[in-house]
Structure 1
Amino acid sequence: MKTSDITIFQNALQLHEAGKLDEAFNLYEASIEKGESSTESWNYIGMIHYQKGDFNNAVKAWNKALTHNPEYVDAMLNCGVAFYGKQQFNEAEQLLGKAYQLAAHRPEVALHLAQAYLALGKTEAVNSLLNTPKHLAYNIPESYLTLAKVAQAQQDWEMVRKWLSSAQQLSPQHPSILIELAELESFEGNIIKADELYREALVNNTNNPMVSMAYGKFCVLHGDATQGVQYLQQGLNQMPQHWEGWLFLGNGLMEMGHLDDAIKTYEHAKSLNPTHIGIQQQLAKAYGRFVPPWHGEMMADLERNDAYQKAIEQVVNKDSIVFEIGTGSGILSLMAARAGAKHVYGCELSPHLANISSVHAEKNGYKDSITIINKKSTSIEPKELEQKPNIVVAEIFDSGLLGEHAIPSFRHAQEHLCTDDCVVIPRAATVKARLIHLPSLASVNPPKEISGFDLSEFSRFIVPREYKPVHLLEYDYTFCSEEVEIMTVDFNRLGKSIPEHLHNTITHHYKVTSDLPVHGVAFWFDLDLADGIQLLNHPERKNNHWGQAVFFFKKPAELTPGETVELNTYYNDIIIRFDEEIIPN
């Protein structure tokens, strides 16, 4: 190789390292024209394109490098990492797998391949690559971080903490490690500790957009939407293609009541990631947030009111400190005060509802007995309550039981705010289900052809892959199976958290009782409020503000009476779902 050619390439490298991308680009091209250093020059041209956000031309340049040298590992590695960043994980795995075959001795190749495996759910493959004495001996913090994510996917929280601690020992101020530790603390309910870790990451990484967006997301999730929006906007100014940042910015704007801005933000997030189910769901919810009709229906459900009143009167006494989650109109707090509670704390995130419930307390003569806190319950710190509650009462259930975040709210109150012997009203719920023939609603979930017209565009208002609240008494329907009890939730003895991106699975068998097409699964819950006091939510109960939930299949199932079919139930702390179709035996 000629000295002049080497000098051109070396000069290009120096300019590249100095951030002078255009000048470096020209010299890399000059090196190629001289016919020397072509493979390396194409590789670095690809990197410049990628640094400028030009993914397509970056891939073309790396492919040219591989045309010159099909076994050039650096080009395979860079191209694989780029595909990973675009969430094209299969392509990333293919390229990184080839690179690993050629350079298994290079720890960074193994690490990036492991990250592609993780994105594809191949956790055992990740462990086989990284969880070995040879690889761990390299002491790469990102390897421990990746293993922590594997443990998270397996819900092994003890191992998550172990791997993160090992990573932090190697790199105490590594932003990604601090973020993961903060998310773990937040998940376990240690909100103050999580906040401290996020702030530590911010102090040591002031210009890191990922840190800004992670903290913004945390703030939005824990009730400080204003600060969350500020940090998210700060991060997005540097990383405008980060769809998840736009998603949580929309969530923050929703919390602040800026619905029009939230919809625009969700639409932008959708343009960056059109197939992401979370964006589709939040966009649909934003469209549906202008008029929430259920507050009046809830107060009008007299059977519900009477059952809660009886349970509260049975449990509450003069020594009771009551904590109501989601106080709304304030009716349950008023019931507790009337039952003789020593004091009642009601928490309500909406400032408008918090103000109304405070006015109701004063109007009904309980101004001194009831304190309303305008906060999300999971953001309340123990010091904000002068006395520790020993009773939790709430009616934060939707038609599918878990959608209003009842489980995380109860768990946080029990673990961080209340006495050890705290009692929850209601104390348990049992979920029951039956296969259902419901042709009228099946035709619009999602909308298809109606009266000879294609109305499918209306589906943008339908949240995909979620159950729909339905008052079955208002429709013609036929149950197509016997009733199945699918799960019981004991609110006084909640198990470990299940994050919203994970789920547990239960398989149930349904005995078919009808030959009509089966459109989905109808399910509902019965509440066990206190000794001898139940509130049933079955379809025959009139004036039932919850109604029932129906999960519609992708297509109707044709079944035979007498046969038994399997159907999986998927659940976590905030949702219940089912298989999207039944496959007959």
Structure 2
Amino acid sequence: VSAGEPIRVVASHDDISLTLDAPIDLPDEMAKANSGHIVLWPRVNALAYHFPMIADEGRNGCFDRALVAAVERFKASHGGRGPRVLDIGSGSGLLAMMAARAGACEVHSLEMVPALAAVARHIVHANGFSDTVHIHTVMSTNLQPTSVGGVFDILVCEIVDDQLLGEGVLTTIEDARKRLLASDAAIIPDGASVHMQAIEFRVGNLSGFACDEFNLFSTDACLSPKGHHGCKLQYVPPHCQRKLSPQLDLFDFDFARGDLAGYAAGRVREDVLLPISETGTLSGLLIFFTLRC
């Protein structure tokens, strides 16, 4: 859009919903769309999760520091030569550019979503790293090392979801270790630990009113067909949540040296006893993880 040029918006509602749309149906608008001056995106944005992820500066800083340390260790043991870095899951290209800024001599970044790969190339170019960072639209399991100059000295991959394993991090790193990495390659993150904790979600006084009876519904989520729900506790007011147990470690994953195929085959712990330290209503069990970079 350009300043001074209005856009046509259609607003509508029915008995239960409101809708806003900026339709592309006028002849001049269709001509712009057909020529590529207007880009039509899918109605359902399947990539929206990237925005809060890349805006998480705490996460970004951890990966940046880990990359700087890994590059410095490699250069110190290889006569100052910068490492070749493989980045699986380009996204915005952020981690690939961090690796280049840290001193990698070459970074190959893999992104299987064509739209994301295209945007990452533009971002890399805009930041002046096109000579070092190369974005490939390919899954890592389909990449042949001969097509990118051989194996890599460092792997960085942030392909984890809310429950750690949902994006295939185990099989992806296992394949990379076998085919794409040098025998002594550094892996970032090099491991993870999964934890659990009992929690109570409750409301009390809200805006000066006692709303305690609403807690009758506090455990309804436990009866839903979906067994797990993503939750960001930083958005839940402290007075509305209470930990009923200490943190308990469940599973550990060693991405760099562990038996990833064994992990992927599954593990069951039937002997877990979670000590309850506070009396209350068990609203759910938190599952969260720590990445080791």
Give the alignment's TM-score, normalised by structure 1.
0.37
Give unpaired runs (5+ residues) of structure 1. Answer: 1-258, 261-288, 448-458, 530-585
Shift in alpha-carbon separation, 1:441–1:342, aligned structure 2, 3 A: farther
Give the structure 2 partner of residue 341 of structure 1: 104
Deviation, structure 1 residue 517: 2.3
Q: 1:445 to 1:341 in 2, by over 3 A?
A: same
What's the CA shift for 1:511?
Answer: 0.7
- Per-residue deviation, 1:383: 2.2
After TM superposition, list the pairs within 5 Å mapping 1:298-377 onto structure 2.
298-316=53-71, 317=75, 318-377=81-140
Letter of the aligned partner of 2:258 in structure 1? L
Of 274, 285, 288, the residue aligned with 1:521 is 285
State the shift of 1:473 in Å.
Answer: 2.4
Aligned match for 2:266, one of 482, 503, 506: 503
Q: More strand per residue: 1 or 2?
A: 2
**Partners in 2 of 1:381 and 1:367 — Cα distance?**
21
Q: CA deviation at 1:486?
A: 1.2
Distance 1:331 1:395 in 2: 11
User: Which of 294, 300, 304 is matched with 2:49 structurally?
Assistant: 294
Post-superposition offset of 1:389:
0.6
Partner of 1:469: 230
State the Cα RMSD in Å.
Answer: 2.2
Displacement of 1:445 in angstroms is 5.4
Secondary structure at 1:468 match in 2: coil
Q: Please tell me whether the aligned partners of residues 434 and 483 of structure 1 are also in contact (alpha carbons under 8 angstroms).
A: yes
Q: Amino acid of the residue matched to residue 433 of structure 1?
A: M
- Say if 1:321 and 1:387, in contact at 8 Å, map to a contact too: no
What's the CA shift for 1:484?
0.6
Check whether the contact 1:411–1:494 (CA below 8 A) recurs between aligned residues: no
Distance in 1 of aligned mates of 2:154 and 2:223: 42
Inter-partner Cα distance in structure 1 for 2:120 and 2:112: 12
More helix by share: 1
Name the aligned partner's letter for residue 117 of structure 2. A
- Partner of residue 432, structure 1: 195
Q: In the aligned structure 2, how far is the partner of 1:328 from the partner of 1:412? A: 20
CA contact (8 A) 2:170 2:260 kept: no
Indicate if the aligned counterparts of 2:194 and 2:250 stay in contact, CA closer than 8 A: yes
Q: 1:510 to 1:414 in 2, by over 3 A?
A: same
What is the aligned partner in structure 1 of residue 220 from structure 2? 443
Q: What's the offset of the Cα at 1:300?
A: 0.9
The letter of the residue matching 2:67 is I
Tell me the SS of whatever aligns to 1:422: strand
Provide structure 2 residue ranges, at least 5 long, that are not aligned to the other structure: 1-41, 76-80, 203-216
Q: Hey, what does 1:570 align to over in structure 2? A: none
Provide the residue aligned with 2:31 in structure 1: none
> CA offset at residue 360 of structure 1?
1.2
Q: Give the letter aligned to residue 301 of structure 1.
A: D
Shift of residue 482, structure 1, vs aligned partner: 1.6
In the alignment, residue 220 of structure 2 is paired with which amino acid?
S
Contact 2:194 2:290 in 1 (8 A): yes
Q: Provide the C-alpha distance between the structure 1 equivalents of 2:284 and 2:272, rounded to a whole number of angstroms.
A: 14
Partner of residue 257, structure 2:
493
- How far residue 520 of structure 1 moved from its aligned partner, in angstroms, is 2.3
Kindly indicate whether the alpha-carbon contact (under 8 Å) linking 1:326 and 1:347 is maintained by their aligned counterparts in 2: yes
Q: Contact between 1:437 and 1:517, CA under 8 Å: does it hold in 2?
A: yes
- 1:71 maps to none
Residue 438 (structure 1) shift: 3.0
SS of equivalent residue, structure 1 residue 346 = strand
Distance in 2, matches of 1:494 and 1:378, equals 19
Letter of the 2:267 partner, please give it.
N
Q: Residue in 1 aligned with 2:148?
A: 385
Amino acid at match of 1:514: E
The 1:380/1:446 distance shift into structure 2, 3 A limit, reads farther
Q: Distance in 1 between matches of 2:117 and 2:147?
A: 16
Give the secondary-structure state (helix, strand or coil) at the position aligned to 2:182.
coil
User: Runs in 1 of length 4+ with deviation above 6 angstroms?
Assistant: none
Query: Following TM superposition, by how much is the alpha carbon of 1:384 offset from its aligned partner in structure 2, in angstroms?
Result: 2.1
**Residues 201-253 of structure 1: CA deviation (Å, up to 9, x unaligned):** xxxxxxxxxxxxxxxxxxxxxxxxxxxxxxxxxxxxxxxxxxxxxxxxxxxxx
Q: For 1:441 and 1:414, how far apart are their aligned partners in 2?
A: 45
Q: Deviations for 1:256-279, whole angstroms, at most 9, x for unmatched residues?
A: xxx99xxxxxxxxxxxxxxxxxxx
* Distance in 1 (alpha carbons) for counterparts of 2:100 and 2:93: 11
Q: In structure 1, give the amino acid aligned to 2:274.
A: Y
Contact conserved, 1:430 with 1:489, CA < 8 A, in 2?
yes
**2: CA distance between counterparts of 1:298 and 1:517?**
32
The residue that corresponds to 1:419 in the other structure is 182
Matched residues in 2 for 1:441 and 1:324: separation? Answer: 42
Counterparts of 1:7-406 in structure 2, within 5 Å, are 290-316=45-71, 317=75, 318-406=81-169
> 1:446 Cα deviation (Å)?
5.4
Task: Pick closer, same or farther for the CA change 1:297–1:382 going to 2, 3 Å.
Answer: same
In structure 2, relative to structure 1, the CA distance for the partners of 1:429 and 1:474 (3 Å cut) is same
Specify the SS of the correspondent of 2:82: coil
Amino acid across the alignment from 2:229: K
- Offset of residue 469 of structure 1: 1.3
Report the alpha carbon displacement of residue 343 of structure 1 after superposing the two structures with TM.
0.3
Counterpart of 1:390 in 2: which secondary structure? strand
CA distance in 2, matches of 1:489, 1:358: 32
- 8 Å Cα contact 1:348/1:372 also seen in 2: yes
SS of equivalent to 1:306: helix
In structure 1, distance between residues paired with 2:53 and 2:223: 27
Alpha-carbon distance in structure 1 between the residues aligned to 2:284 and 2:266:
20
Paired-residue identity, %: 26
TM-aligned CA distance change 1:510 to 1:444, over 3 Å: closer
Shift in CA distance, 321/442, structure 1 to aligned 2, threshold 3 Å: farther
Q: What letter corresponds to residue 524 of structure 1 in structure 2?
A: F
Q: What letter is aligned with 2:65?
A: K
Q: Secondary structure at the match of 2:292?
A: strand
Q: Alpha-carbon deviation of 1:483?
A: 1.3
